[in-house]
C-alpha cells in the first residue's frame, strides 16, 4: 500500500511517495514557488491517478503524473478548498468569494 504526500521544500512544490515506512521524494514536478502564507499543496491520488493541486499566485494549478512525466494543468479560479480522485477522474472544490464550485476532470492515460 502506498500514499502520495504533498508539501514544500525551500518554498518550492514537492511530493513524496510513501510505501510502508519509507518515503521517496518525487522528481520531475513542475517548478512552482508556493506562498508560505497561502494554502498548502494537496495530494490527489487513486489507484489510477497521482496529482498535486497547488495555489500559484491567484490561480490554482495541478501537477499530474502521466506516461511522459509530470505535467502542469490549470484549474478553475479561486481558492483551493479540497481535492480528491476516483479512478482517472479528479475533483476540485474551489471558492471564489462566497461561491464554491465543484470541478471534475477525467484524465486520459497519456
Asked whether the predicted pLDDT for residue 78 surpasses 90, the reply is no
User: Which three cell numbers mark 90?
Assistant: 479528479
2-52 per-position pLDDT tens digit:
799 999 999 999 999 999 999 999 999 999 999 888 889 999 998 888 999
Asked whether the predicted pLDDT for residue 86 surpasses 60, the reply is yes
Cβ-proximal residues to 29 (8 Å cutoff; 6+ apart), any chain: 13, 14, 15, 52, 63, 70
Amino acid at each position: 500500500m502506498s500514499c502520495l504526500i504533498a508539501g514544500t521544500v525551500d518554498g518550492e512544490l514537492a511530493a513524496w511517495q510513501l510505501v510502508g515506512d519509507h518515503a521517496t521524494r518525487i522528481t520531475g514536478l513542475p517548478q512552482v514557488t508556493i506562498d508560505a502564507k497561502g494554502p498548502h499543496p494537496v495530494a490527489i491520488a487513486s489507484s489510477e491517478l497521482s496529482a498535486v493541486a497547488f495555489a500559484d499566485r491567484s490561480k490554482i494549478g495541478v501537477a499530474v503524473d502521466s506516461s511522459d512525466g509530470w505535467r502542469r494543468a490549470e484549474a478553475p479560479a479561486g481558492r483551493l478548498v479540497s481535492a480528491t480522485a476516483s479512478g482517472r477522474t479528479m475533483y476540485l472544490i474551489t471558492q471564489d468569494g462566497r461561491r464554491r464550485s465543484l470541478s471534475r476532470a477525467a484524465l486520459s492515460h497519456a
